[in-house]
Amino acid sequence: MGSIGVTTTRRACNSPAPLNGGAECDGAGVRGHICNKNCGQQSLTVNQYITNVCAEHRRTKGDNELTGSGSQLNRYPQRACKVFCDVKTGSGGQRNYRFYGDNLPDGTPCGWDRYCLNGECLNLSCDDTALITRDLSCPSERCPLSSAAAPPSDMLNVQGQWGAWSLWTSCTVSCGSGGVKQRSRACNIANRCEGAATERVA
């Protein structure tokens, strides 16, 4: 599955804020500049990414109803860029989901010529140069990153997140010096978290 390279710009309507019936600001608060229209084949599909996130929720939340898997809900545009985790159902056969606030990475495909930006499934706009919520805010400048400078994408361009640290193990020596204890944590996407998975203390 392929994705597109997106760099995101954000702005707030706060100079001044539209209080007491004041006018809202023109244009979108978030827009994505298309930097690379073909990031190539990924080593992880969207559904595999969702399943990794859901497996981590199952492990960390202790929710026995979670199955540890999930899938993209493309048939519902308002849900196509959100991570919904499957929950066990009775004999009825209807699928049920839980949402924990996770969005798919920006640039993830969510339909025909539609891609995720900030949790929304948006059409390519502005002559296929941007993802925005309002056409009034087409960027006048080109993408600040050239496609050559876009980072290589060996999977979805997303950084993993560490789960909680485990409890410390017992010290390897019951008295005196030379003993070691350790604790560990798991990354929700293998090899995509910064830092160490284990800590040791002498």
171 and 196 share one domain: yes
139 and 166 share one domain: no
57 and 107 share one domain: yes
**Range of the structural domain that residue 51 is part of:** 5-18+26-149
Q: What is the CATH classification number for the domain harbouring 186? A: 2.20.100.10
Per-residue confidence (pLDDT) for residue 115, from 0 to 100? 83
**Ramachandran bin of 29, using left for φ above 0, alpha for ψ from -120 to 50, beta for the remaining angles:** alpha
Per-residue confidence (pLDDT) for residue 105, from 0 to 100? 85
Whether 154 is covered by a domain: the verdict is no
114 and 179 share one domain: no
| Cα gap 194→161, rounded to integer Å | 8
| Cα gap 189→158, rounded to integer Å | 9
| Cα gap 167→188, rounded to integer Å | 18
Whether 120 is covered by a domain: the verdict is yes
- Residue ranges for the chain with pLDDT beneath 70: 1-9, 27-28, 31-43, 90-94, 128-130, 132-161, 172-178, 188-192, 202
| Cα gap 80→17, rounded to integer Å | 31
Candidates 65, 58, 62, 64; CA nearest to 83 is 58
Cα dihedral 193, 195, 199, 202, rounded to 10, equals: 170
132 and 193 share one domain: no
143 and 89 share one domain: yes
Q: Domain count of the chain? A: 2
167 and 187 share one domain: yes
Please provide residue 194's backbone torsions phi and psi, each rounded to the nearest 5 degrees: -85, 145
125 and 144 share one domain: yes
Per-residue confidence (pLDDT) for residue 41, from 0 to 100? 53
pTM of the model: 0.57
141 and 172 share one domain: no
4: its two tokens: 């597109």
Please provide residue 49's backbone torsions phi and psi, each rounded to the nearest 5 degrees: -60, -50
